[in-house]
Amino acid sequence: MIRHDQLYIGGAWVPCPSREVIEVVSPSTEEVIATVPAGSSVQVDAAVTAARAAFESWSATSPAERAEVLQRIHEGLKARAPEIARTISSEMGMPLHQALRIQVGTPVASFKLYAELARSFAFEEEVGHSRVLREAVGVVAAITPWNYPLHQIAAKVGAALAAGCTLVLKPSEVAPLNAFLLAEVIHEAGLPPGVFNLVTGYGGTVGEALVAHPDVDMISFTGSTLAGKRISEVAAHTVKRVSLELGGKSAAVVLDDADLAAAVHGTVANCFMNAGQTCTAHTRLLVPRARLEEACALAVEAAADWRVGDPFDERSQLGPVASALQRERVRHHIRAGVEAGGRLLCGGPDAPIGLERGYYVSPTIFADVRPDARIAQEEVFGPVLVILPYEDENDAVRIANGTVYGLSGGVWSATEERAVAVARRLRTGQVNINGGGFNLKAPFGGYKQSGHGRELGVYGLEEFLEYKSLQFKR
């Protein structure tokens, strides 16, 4: 049992006066494994005050100095990778062998990338008789989710520090333990007091207070579209910069010349990874109508390879979803799909056999649902795939673009040229061509109600910078 009773504010671990705590529950055992402080607006104000006081000196440091600190954070996280992986598997359920590579390997790489970018980025340039400067936006509130907790933290914290910003982090109350490990690493790396601050708590208290705080210059948020709308409303009162990475309902479009088996197996893997709790998951598989039944059979075959089980069993490919609430949400969507007449190819709302304890969900695949059905329109955030037939290429593009979201997608074709032509027509922030993998250096973000702003790479760094132009008399 881990008990955190302090928050990281102003370069020190300080007691949280409130007696209220948040219980962290293991999604595989349903047991309480830790408690963290339930902060309030008082702790938010203290953290923002510390960040504001540190901003002038930190933003004035050279990019090379900032790079050195980021490199030390990278090295500190790398040294503690096994511990961090076990912590994340315990608090949100990804199988340990996957968590070490994905939940830890990716954020470790992110800090290294931002150390490199701090050294190489052009923070000023000459344009005619002007000198254009790129300066830190100010104090940042980073509000992060539970599905890839440390990765989403690193994408914000690494970029903000490289830009010269100071920040207050509010991690998800569902999976906050990894953030405490990061704070320990940051402290050991010698980041000046007040540059990074950690306040845990609920969105309605700590999150709301951060978004409304007059001394916060920018909100960087990853989470649900509903929460993103609320953040936009509150932040508008102080005209803050807001970067939102929200939900998705991404489509994988399999063209008629594609290798159907490779496309279906690749899409099932993309959909089911992390128990389907990925905002970019390809949860709609679009196939030519003439090949629908073949695709359905291949999808069921692929789903059978995803063994559900204990995150600490090396044979498990798919762990539990992160919480009881999330399990009920997923089950609700599955039941709605059945009630709407969907053909259940595998899975369903019942717990997998032998896994009645823990928040486990059976890998589920639907066919025979309309493109406008709830199960094909709303983000499920669980291991649930919908297979949809299309008539021709134009129909496929229409269906793929036919949701309020636009975060990700995929196109499969025998020729890269044809796949790219279709990808250009998709209103979405990323498109994987024939199963192309994740790229930390590429911009990450969405169109429409999937949010605005971009994370990762140089594009993520630029989100935390303001332009200033100096005009000279020549």
Catalytic residues: 245, 279
Output b/e per residue, 65-93; b: 16+ Cβ within 10 A.
ebbbbbbbbbbbbbebbeebbbbbbbbbb
CA pseudo-torsion sign 113, 118, 120, 125: positive
Q: How many CB atoms lie within 10 A of CB 225?
A: 19
CA distance 170 to 36: 12
Output b/e per residue, 227-255; b: 16+ Cβ within 10 A.
bbebbbebbeeeebbbbbbbbbbbbbbbb
CA distance 309 to 312: 8
CA distance 443 to 253: 21
CA pseudo-torsion sign 453, 456, 459, 461: positive
Token digits of residue 279: 């905002």
Q: How many CB atoms lie within 10 A of CB 56?
A: 9
CA distance 165 to 138: 5
